[in-house]
Structure 1
Amino acid sequence: MMQKSLIYSAVLSLSFIVACNNAQEKSKDSTDAVTEETAKAVGNGQISFDEEVFDFGQVKDGESVEHVFTFKNTGSEPVIVSRVSTSCGCTTPEYTATPVAPDKEGQIKVVFDSHGQSGKQQKIITVVSNAKNNIQTIQLKGEVS
């Protein structure tokens, strides 16, 4: 009886692990598809950031830092930002989701929550769009004490 329980538990655990791995693979595949789709749709838009690095200086643990990165479409076609991701869950992005016409500006707002962070910080924000320069990075950096 004990042996049957062990076998049943092992089979159940294995099934759970396989199911989790499959879910992760599907998620990765859909993310790759979005990136590939954006890369194929590259147009003649061009993203130009006013600043690519923002140094927030020194903050105390638990403080939040908010910054808005502004970009201009210096190309000849509208730019559509399809995704903005961060290197850490402590940094949350919001961005202009509507097409940015040539010579117009869009924004990427990021909020860094310093709770639980300490020392020098460098957070990378990756911007994916249909522009010629379709993958761009911007950064937040500073120190948490």
Structure 2
Amino acid sequence: MKTIKISILASILGLMSFTVLPTTSKIHHIATATSPIAWKSESIDLGEIPQNKPKEVDFEFKNTGKTAVIITNVKASCGCTATDYTKTPIQPGETATVKATYNAAAKGAFSKTVTVTTNAEDAPKVLSFKGTVI
């Protein structure tokens, strides 16, 4: 009698392990937000530039959003590049410029970046320029 109870209990426990639980399916929507900033060019090839003559690079963009864009920070990748940028709010439809001036002191190939932070994008935008000092 005891073995029958144990086998019935084992069968019940075995059947309980096969119960179907409701599954929940999570749908993740990935929003691809379009930036309200349209850069004319994010990478510029300067080609060959003369040594000991600073070269200015202009990164132009247009505010295609519905609110003003404010550039909060611009940082060059090294001390050989100075930066300047539009300090006033850029209204919808307006254009603005981030300038990088490269000190072409050393001969050879170079590749530099300028990181731009604005109130319009979560992640900073990395702009680049390259060339060869002759």
Query: Could you tell me the TM-score, scaled by structure 1's length?
Result: 0.64
* Aligned residue among 81, 92, 95 for 2:82: 92
Per-residue deviation, 1:133: 5.1
1:25 corresponds in structure 2 to: none
Partners of 1:125 and 1:51 in 2: CA distance:
13
How far apart are 1:61 and its partner, in Å? 2.3
Q: How does 1:74-113 map to 2 (within 5 A)?
A: 74-113=64-103
Q: Whole-Å Cα distance in 2 between the matches of residues 102 and 133 of structure 1?
A: 18
User: Could you tell me which residue of structure 1 aligns to residue 37 of structure 2?
Assistant: 47
| Gap change, CA 1:111 and 1:95, over 3 Å in 2 | same
TM-superposed deviation, 1:134: 4.4
Shift of 1:60: 2.9
Q: Is the 8 A contact 1:63 1:113 kept in 2?
A: yes
Q: 2:129 matched to which residue of 1?
A: 140
Give the root-mean-square deviation of aligned CA atoms: 1.7
Structure with greater helix share of residues: 1
**Structure 2 residue matching 1:106: 3-state secondary structure:** strand
- Residue 132 of structure 1: how far off its partner (Å): 2.8
Equivalent residues of 1:70, 1:105 under 8 A apart: yes
Determine whether 1:127 maps to 2:94.
no
Find the structure with the greater CA-based Rg.
2
* Structure 1 unpaired stretches of 5+: 1-43
Task: After the TM superposition, list the runs of 4 or more consecutive aligned residues in structure 1 that deviate by more than 2 angstroms.
Answer: none
Q: How many residues align?
A: 101
Query: C-alpha distance in 2, partners of 1:47/1:63?
Result: 31
Using the size of structure 2 for normalisation, the TM-score is 0.69
